[in-house]
Amino acid sequence: MQMQLDQSRKMEAVGSLASGVAHDFNNALQSISGYVEMLYAEDLDKPKQREKLDQIGEVVGRAAELVRRLLTFSRKVEVELVPLDLNNEITESVKTLSRIIPKMITIEQRLSPKLKNISGDRVQIEQILMNLGVNAKDAMPNGGILTIETRGITLGSVRNNGRPGLKPGEYILLKVSDTGMGMDQKTINRIFEPFFTTKGPGQGTGLGLATVYGIVKSHKGDISCHSEPGRGTSFNIYLPACDQVQKVKKNTQFIDAELMG
């Protein structure tokens, strides 16, 4: 509980800092981009100058991506919650992931049929899948299996196998696991912290999982991580099923956590 409070306070502080910085930074980037476009239009024929311009363009692109991540992270992007079939979103994201992920990694989808809809933001749900997928890829440099699973689940009260922080009711469990390098407990304790990364400079921003955490919380869900060094990692994400509110009203006594199929 204490860890959760610290985490949200920290996220709030970094979030408001990030949104201020990101706004000004983005304006600056846009004018740099404008100048780059103008220089391109002047038809430079010296190859070295063109090379430099390409580099500027690349750096601007990377910085813009960072801003995009900061904005998503600080949740200042517009969120549109609509009924979504999570299985469809997974199938779509896997198409994108399979272009990024090397062939020696197998992507397995175990999607429960007849899954209830979630109420979600399509772009953000895709972001969750992409961030977890890319981390799984990084954790399996010698290949392995990335498994994406869904199933419906009914959570009881905390006393009856529920999860702290989640109301009793119907949820969709999204499980993303890999057979990669795993993590020790010290690392697990810090993974959702903004800017925490064990990847080298220029390799990781440390915003991937903090963003995932923020998105899951803004969807009134919960996330947990299980990992063992050398054996792999799995993330369990609980997202409320679309019609949960009605269901909870009708039946407030949930006895046990049980699978819905």
In the complex, least distance from residue 119 CB atom to ligand ADP, rounded to whole angstroms = 25
The CA distance from 193 to 207, in Å, is 8
Q: Which is nearer to ligand ADP, 105 or 155 (CB)?
A: 105
Which positions touch ligand ADP (CB under 6 A)?
131, 135-136, 139, 178, 180-183, 187, 191, 196-199, 204-210, 233
The kind and range of the H/E element at 228 are strand 222-228
Q: Which is nearer to ligand ADP, 198 or 246 (CB)?
A: 198
Q: Is the dihedral of CA 166, 94, 209, 73 positive or negative?
A: negative
Q: Which is nearer to ligand ADP, 11 or 139 (CB)?
A: 139
Q: How big is the CA angle at 119 (ends 134 and 87), to the nearest 5 degrees?
A: 50
In the complex, least distance from residue 210 CB atom to ligand ADP, rounded to whole angstroms = 6
In the complex, least distance from residue 197 CB atom to ligand ADP, rounded to whole angstroms = 3
Contact 76, 61 (CB under 8 A): no
Q: How big is the CA angle at 190 (ends 196 and 126), to the nearest 5 degrees?
A: 70
Residue length of the chain = 261
Q: Which is nearer to ligand ADP, 8 or 157 (CB)?
A: 8
Which residue's Cβ lies closest to ligand ADP?
Answer: 208
Q: Which is nearer to ligand ADP, 131 or 154 (CB)?
A: 131
Contact 89, 126 (CB under 8 A): yes
In the complex, least distance from residue 256 CB atom to ligand ADP, rounded to whole angstroms = 31
Q: How far is CA 105 from the centre of its chain?
A: 20
In the complex, least distance from residue 10 CB atom to ligand ADP, rounded to whole angstroms = 14
